[in-house]
Structure 1
Amino acid sequence: MRRVVHGPRPEAVPTLITRACLVVGLLDIAAGAFPRFRHSRMHTLAEVLPGTLGPFAAALALSSGVLLLLLAHGLRRRKRRAWRAAVVLLPIGACAQFAYRHSFAGVVIPLVLLWVLAKHRAQFDALPDPRSRWRALANFVVMGAGSIMIGLLIVSVHPRRIVGDPSLADRLQHVLYGLFGLDGPLDYTGSASRTVGVSLGALGMITALTTVYFAFRPEHPAARLAEDDESRLRALLDKHGARDSLGHFALRRDKGVVFSPSGKAAVCYRVVSGVMLASGDPIGDVEAWPGAIERFMDEARAHSWTPAVMGCSETGGEVWTRETGLDALELGDEAVVDVADFSLTGRAMRNVRQMVKRIERAGYETRVRRVRDLGPAELDRIRRAADDWRGTDTERGFSMALGRIGDAADGDCLIATAHKSDADGPGPFGDLRAVLHFVPWGDAGVSLDLMRRDRAADPGMNELLIVAALQAAPKLGISHVSLNFAMFRSALARGEKIGAGPVLRAWRGLLVFLSRWFQIESLYRFNAKFRPRWEPRFVVYRSSKDLPRIGWAAMRAEGFVNMRMPGLLRRRTPEPRPCAHTRREEEASAA
């Protein structure tokens, strides 16, 4: 016989409890904000309570409701600490409802939810996230705005007890004073003054305490690439690095890594806004990829992170979707130039050819060398120039950026530089005017990492250096060069062709509009100059509703959204943290 399942599916329980918690939180806020009713069945029983308990019960109900709303996100993500806090707050809110509003429903509903939480305790087992101090400032802004709105509600729901007819400015001033525990310009008759004052003071205290908690709580460090892990990754890249042009970018030291049980494959990732974001294909033997992917998914489940992969190849996307049941969506195309087929001759290369010749006539010369062939002084000059010429406050890049130049361990990286001796004398970095940095792609390829140039130099520096790198490639044993990644390239290309439909043209128009802030069309046009072959890249995701969150996490990881906080709120550089799977193995061996 078929077994009949009663109640919701286990995986749906956290979502249902989260919704119920939101309802209870709003009820608690309403209970603390609005005057109590005197026609409740429980009023007679509540009359035996001390009269001074009412204002404090209102503030307690209000505080419990606000904190329950803050905990809702953690409950939805099955966080153990959010469960513990909710178990404490629910009975407190129920007691406050009884003492102030004398509401039967306000007591029973939180207690029923408390029973449900206790029954489904096993569903809330997710480990903590890496902690970022920027949440303290975010909490202060959100809580401050919410407290002002709730405060305006509190001071306005006692119209019959307000002396006079205060303006909105007077009410706002009273709220701001009350959040700091001071008396405002409004006068109330009876006990309303005490109730309003205590409630506003409670809101201000909750705002201050939660902000202090986020700013100074003990840190749970983010995963980072340890020296031993980096050595293991380099060994895998030596054997299998030619398979993926993004493989070397796995050596970014702000990434974590999980290895397959055999150690023959690995997935590198970073956690951003609750999204466990991998980039490119797994590193290592393709046959060992499923084991590394399984470890990646185990880590995501252990922390209740949203798994996602940015920029994997078609083969990588097929393995990810087959092994995990995730979906894949084409994100854009990578431009790859085959050195043997590259030439400046022909009508198609006319613009590039003319630009390069014009710059060369202006007195520029180029040099293309391996990092190991450069001296320490020149490497230092190139690093300083690259930092100075960076157009943003923070280093951009994640999936196709290494995040460093001239490291001793990266001797195979390629640096192309442009030089010019000006009549006015050397600049702050000597005769250096532009830099391109490439990382290895196996033994016979390189991938473009960064492009930097002096803003005062002649335009066309990037084109000049790419051509120089392609022309020098045969002597360096390089047969293929990966250039920039062009997002939504196929949509831009098809949308401008004759016969494109209205939907495709509208989509292309939106991309062109967004290119004012993000280099979407400009990167596509720049890459297309060199007549590359286009290799599709994909984003792998669990559900379409996760795409906005994944997009936000990717923008933060790539540096398009700067979340750097003032020095006091910045997290110190954490020590490397082992993954959840490794910690479980260590605990088992210790036992």
Structure 2
Amino acid sequence: MSAPADSPASGSSATAADGTDDTDRGAVVRRLRAFGSTVVRLPFTLALWVVIFGLGLVTGALWDHASHKSWYVDVAFGLPALEENKWWTIVTSSVFEPSPGKYVIALILVAVGIGWAEWRLGTARVAIVAIGGKIGAELLSVLLVWFFSRDFTSWQWVDHMAGTRGTGVITMVVAAVAVASATLRSPWRLRVRVFLGAVVAITFLFEGTFGTVQYVLAALIMLPIGEQWFSTAERGYLPRTRREVRMLGSVGILLIAGANLMVFFFPASGPLGPTDANDESTVSMIVILVINLLIADQLRRGRRWAWWVAVVLGLLNVLLTILVVALVAFTNFDSEGGVTVGTTLLWAVVLAILIPGRFAFAVPWRTRRSGSVDGDPVDRVKELLHSHGGGTMSWMITWPGNEYLFSAAANSVVAYQRHMGTMLALADPVCDEDELRRTIAGFIDHAEKSGKTPCWFSVGAETARIADELGWRSLQIAEDTIVDLPDLAFKGKPWQHVRSAINKSKKENITFRLVVLADEPFSIKSQVRAISEEWVGDKGLPEMGFTLGSVDEAMDPEVRVALAVDDTGSVHGVLSWLPVYGAVGADEERTVRGWTLDVMRRRTDGFGPVIEYLIASSAMAFKDEGAQFISLSGAPLARSDDAAEAERMDRLLDSLGAAMEPFYGFRSLHAFKKKFSPRYEPVFLSFRDESDLPRIGLAISRAYLPDATPTQLVRLAASGGHD
């Protein structure tokens, strides 16, 4: 007999006599338990919060200005306190706030900032870095004030600071967050640090108090300490991906524009005097604002000219501020105007992103091309790929950073890049078969007339054969791994790992989706970017380019993206597939005949065999659509039989591949692809003669890592030496 509709057995929740739903009550209990367990894990945060709140309540400072109380001089820290031998103020200044408004801000920041840092670092370590950072910043600030307030300077702001006492816990928050940021993975470690630096700089800009001096010093001291002794997942201050550099640089310029706007409408008094400029009109302010917005937008797009403008403006601002500080400190110079230390600190943060991140700003004003073509050359390249077809790597020539050599009639094209005096032609020419020899010869002639060393990188057997007939040499540098789809079936022992991945995905409610990433909602795109940036952050080198795409390239509407998503909407893995156009069927209709694997990322703590699952699911989906094959792509600088080819491969290229292996796993990735029982097609490097190989090797390293720092290149070389 079935249960009555209103009974608990029917699935409905019971209602208590007081009208309270048992389900709601249970949810409240679970939330209270979760909150209690969180509080238990944060005893230092809880104790500090209770002490600050309790003292404010007892003394009445929560609703009245503590700085107006008679006892304030006995708890506030500063140079006068040390001169009066009130050493205890080093500690007591941390648990009082000067005003009710500061109490509200401080209590929120302790709960959020110190709480998060304790969650990341643990109770003992967060107590050490918070208290130690606070004391260190206090003592250093007093030392600097004492030094600059001596008779040899005439800096009025420093003289004022010499007579100031202050209280506040926010310095502890800055110190704790600065150290805890070292425990994060990319991209969040840099985002938190940039946010912290921006907040500290803006606060210093608008207040310029003794306390904000301590914020700046705490950040400068504790960031290196955190990096040196508390880094876990990765190390370094540099951004890893092009998108991250562009986004942070753009946001930094917007913050500077916003700060200048705030200063215009709400002038303050900072270390260099009043921040308002008496001669600055509304029109000039609007012009400066528009220029900043334009630079920020172009930085977001990766424009090279915007990078140069931003760097020059930032350096001029920093140098000008240093000059003004010297004049104010040692002369009677009146600095009233738009120059402020606060905006200079913001510029310093932006320059710290832009200068080492210059690799992200390689997009020229317009794409270079030789030959006659109307409109965007990339659009014409795509038209040629649609009509002539191409190899498994041909779609990569549509990516940013390539230059194009078109024929006179614009019916053929060669894509290339310039590095180290070399023109690296990427992939096979896109043209009719009858025009292949002429197109190859045309590029060689164009490069030699330009005084450059020509080279063909990652080309197929036919292009290599024609190059050899023209007197060149060709070496196999990789193997393209091809999986034919018409007869593909995951049967038999060789496919056991694939079947296991598919079966496990069903048990864990993982579903496969094949999408156009650009059309996906923000939640999906942001997860994909986060997974990719975390993967790059694990490497010791910046995001690579040339034949290795990123999420930006995966946003192309013609690129398909495979996603593994669980029932909560979380993305566990992502693949991107580049179209391969060519003739299909008896009528030789030009359409997508295959797909090439490009981006391959998995979430660190996600579904284990997600890559195997995504590749297998993609293969079957493309098979159902009529595709002939998928290419798992050739692992750059990797081959299946190193011993057989060692005599033919130049030592420099072999060393480069070995050096990159610890960072990007090219050769281990090549071994992984063997799981899918592919057939192999050789990929060649074609060159004039052996004397060109050293320059070509350097050019290839620059193509993949166009702006790696000297330290990173040293690490690359050192790792290769131990291979």
TM, length-normalised to structure 1: 0.50
TM, length-normalised to structure 2: 0.41
